[in-house]
Amino acid sequence: MNEQENCHCMSDELSQDMQPEKSPAEPRTSEEKQKIVNRLKRVEGQIRGLQKMIEDDRYCVDILIQLSAAQAALKKIGFSVLERHTKSCVSRAIEEGQGSQQIDELVSVLKQFYK
């Protein structure tokens, strides 16, 4: 799956050509999407705060602590998306006999995520 493709867990609706005979991977609900967007907005606020800290010549250790908090928040969001993808899209691919490709993709993403 490349950047152009949509993951089944990212869409409220599946296109007709994506409708498998088995039940599809459950799409992410509006509530789940909103929760992630809200977390991202919080991180955005943290980043803006960091920019201001730099502009105001704040103490380096305070900046580093805030950087660490922003990184941790992004990791938490990433784990949430990763968990959802694994439980829906990867497990669905395995059930449909296409697990090898999805697992390879997942391993590749995990390598990127843990850099």
Distance CA 43, CA 3 (A): 23
Q: Is the dihedral of CA 105, 109, 112, 115 positive or negative?
A: negative
What is the reported pLDDT for 22? 38
pLDDT tens digits, one per residue of 54-111: 999 999 999 999 999 999 999 999 999 999 988 888 888 898 888 888 899 999 999 9
The domains found in the chain, sorted by start residue, are 29-113 (1.20.58.1000)
pLDDT band at 9 (very low <50, low <70, confident <90, very high): low
Q: Which of 50, 45, 48 is nearest to 62 (CA)?
A: 50
What is the reported pLDDT for 114? 84
More confident residue, 17 or 51: 51
Average pLDDT value for residue range 41-58: 98
